[in-house]
């Protein structure tokens, strides 16, 4: 019986030829970083395969980072993806391609792009409502502007780290309502935010907003993102200018970027809006739905604690991109923006411990004890998949981080 090829991906594998996410890897004992494409339980050295096949895309794929491919634009993204699909599905290419496949557990994965700017949003109505109820129990849960525009803040791009990187518990000022003065020390309310990130490929000109319908011309793909949050530091510092040190210490992202083209089957309409939006945000006449049906799972120390549904997000990624450039701010290749915490209407669909424990009031039960917020040694993992065409699943990989004590 002939030996099975690594390219014979089992039916139902979420990383089959219908997916083909991009990453950057190296091998043990070698510092050289290469673009990889995941297929089943293997990573294809895309640059080496391209060179062996005499592909015109060798220059884009034979790089240590995805940025040149991101900058090449939508036509190139489509053509490269079409070529990769042929390389892993056409039996005639197997003798050339198979030598450039490496088992996933034999490679080291790296941050796949050089991050330019970073923006994080606040786009889930369920999350924003829960947070409002927690901190403004006697007032309106949503601020007056929330349903008129996607609220966001500019984060720190230099502390975006790849999945598997330890997260050091941050220190800072904190002040409980009953404390007479602030104190300094490690955060005691360290939290997660289950999010989806988007990476920009094609830049834009300063002073020229990106229209709602141009989303797919500028955004290359998406990935899972965990916006670690020190709630006690954040609560003391955020008035009047918003998040700062309570957010900027670390943001973890998946090692795999799923191209938007792989998610055509996951497009869904966003929730119904209460009233008409301003024209630059109005997607009623869009060519196709702006939402994505992504099924996220949150686990702490291997135990599932929540399943936030991305399809419930009030503001779409296209609206977020339009809003963050409407003042003329330019896009750069490698810009990253986060969706904001993903939460659904049910208790087990909340994407943060702030909501799951109602700011520490209701502890959650784990196999190793109760939790209100994260303890040193805790490992948080976000995983997700999306429905594909013909009943397939598109795997989005995972983003994992372990909390270590303050240094």
* 30-44, 272-286, 290-304, 310-324: least confidently modelled range: 272-286
Q: Contact at 8 Å (CB) between 386 and 263?
A: yes
pLDDT of residue 143: 94
**Residue 112: count of CB within 10 angstroms of its CB:** 26
User: Which candidate in 18, 110, 126, 127 is catalytic?
Assistant: 127
pLDDT of residue 324: 98
Helices (H), 250-376: 317-325, 353-356
Q: Which residues pair with 315 in a beta bridge?
A: none
Six token digits for residue 1: 């019986």
Is a pLDDT exceeding 50 seen at residue 1? no
Q: What is the pLDDT of residues 9-23, one digit of tens each?
A: 999 999 999 999 999
* 182-191, 221-230, 388-397: least confidently modelled range: 388-397
- Measured distance CA(283)–CA(322) in Å, rounded: 11
Q: Contact at 8 Å (CB) between 200 and 216?
A: no
Burial of 142-157, coded b for 16+ CB within 10 Å and e otherwise, reads: beeebeebbbbbebbb
Q: What is the pLDDT of residues 73-122, one digit of tens each?
A: 999 999 999 999 999 999 999 999 999 999 999 999 999 999 999 999 99
Report the Cα–Cα distance between both ends of the chain, in Å, rounded.
56
- Measured distance CA(81)–CA(20) in Å, rounded: 8
Give the burial class of 238: count Cβ atoms within 10 A of its Cβ; 0-12 exposed, 13-18 middle, 19 or more buried: middle
- Measured distance CA(256)–CA(399) in Å, rounded: 9
Mean model confidence pLDDT for the chain: 96
DSSP state of 297: E
| Statement: the pTM of the whole predicted model exceeds 0.85 | yes
Q: What is the pLDDT of residues 365-381, one digit of tens each?
A: 999 999 999 999 999 99
* 26-35, 85-94, 156-165: least confidently modelled range: 26-35
Give the burial class of 339: count Cβ atoms within 10 A of its Cβ; 0-12 exposed, 13-18 middle, 19 or more buried: buried
| Residue 127 annotated in active site | yes
Mean pLDDT on 134-152:
94
pLDDT of residue 29: 82
Local structure of 234: helix, strand or coil: helix
Give the residue, 147 or 286, on which the prediction is more confident. Answer: 147
**Where does the pLDDT of residue 3 fall: very low under 50, low under 70, confident under 90, or very high at 90 and above?**
low
Q: C-alpha distances in angstroms, 37 versus 74, 133, 193?
A: 18, 44, 27
Check residue 395 and give left, alpha or beta (phi > 0: left; psi -120 to 50: alpha): beta
Q: Computed over its alpha carbons, how large is the radius of gyration of the chain? A: 21
Cα 163 to the chain's mean position, in Å?
Answer: 11
**Residue 4: count of CB within 10 angstroms of its CB:** 8
Q: What is the pLDDT of residues 212-260, one digit of tens each?
A: 999 999 999 999 999 999 999 999 999 999 899 999 999 999 999 999 9
């Amino acid at each position: 019986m002939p030996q099975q090829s690594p390219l014979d991906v089992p039916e139902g594998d979420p990383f089959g030829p219908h997916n083909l996410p991009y990453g950057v890897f190296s091998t043990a004992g070698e510092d050289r970083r290469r673009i990889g494409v995941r297929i089943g339980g293997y990573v294809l050295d895309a640059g080496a395969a391209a060179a062996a096949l005499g592909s015109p895309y060798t220059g884009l794929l034979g790089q240590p980072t995805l940025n040149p491919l991101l900058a090449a634009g939508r036509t190139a993204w489509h053509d490269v993806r079409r070529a990769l699909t042929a390389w892993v599905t056409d039996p005639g290419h197997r003798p050339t391609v198979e030598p450039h496949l490496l088992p996933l557990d034999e490679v080291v994965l790296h941050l796949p792009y050089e991050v330019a700017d970073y923006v994080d949003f606040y786009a889930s109505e369920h999350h924003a409502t829960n947070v409002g109820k927690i901190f403004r129990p006697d007032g309106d849960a949503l601020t007056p502007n929330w349903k008129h525009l996607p609220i966001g803040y500019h984060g720190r791009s230099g502390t975006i780290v790849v999945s598997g990187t330890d997260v050091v518990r941050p220190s800072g000022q904190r002040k409980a309502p009953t404390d007479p003065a602030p104190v300094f020390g490690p955060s005691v309310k360290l939290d997660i935010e289950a999010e989806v990130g988007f990476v920009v490929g094609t830049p834009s000109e300063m002073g020229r907003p990106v229209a709602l319908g141009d989303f797919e011309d500028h955004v290359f793909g998406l990935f899972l993102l965990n916006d670690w949050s020190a709630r006690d530091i954040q609560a003391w510092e955020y008035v009047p200018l918003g998040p700062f040190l309570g957010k900027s210490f670390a943001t973890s992202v998946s090692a795999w970027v799923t191209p938007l083209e792989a998610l055509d089957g996951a497009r869904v309409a966003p929730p119904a809006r209460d009233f008409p939006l301003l024209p630059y945000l109005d997607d009623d006449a869009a060519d196709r739905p702006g939402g994505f049906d992504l099924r996220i799972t949150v686990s702490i120390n291997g135990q599932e604690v929540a399943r936030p549904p991305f399809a419930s997000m009030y503001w779409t990624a296209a609206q977020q991109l339009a809003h963050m450039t409407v003042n003329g701010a330019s896009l750069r290749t490698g810009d990253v923006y986060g969706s904001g915490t993903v939460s659904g209407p049910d208790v087990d669909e909340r994407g943060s411990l702030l909501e799951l424990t109602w700011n520490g009031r209701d502890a959650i039960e784990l196999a190793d004890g109760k939790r209100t917020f994260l303890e040193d040694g805790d490992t948080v993992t976000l995983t997700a998949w999306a429905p594909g065409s013909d009943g397939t699943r598109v795997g989005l990989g995972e983003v994992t981080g372990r909390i270590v004590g303050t240094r």
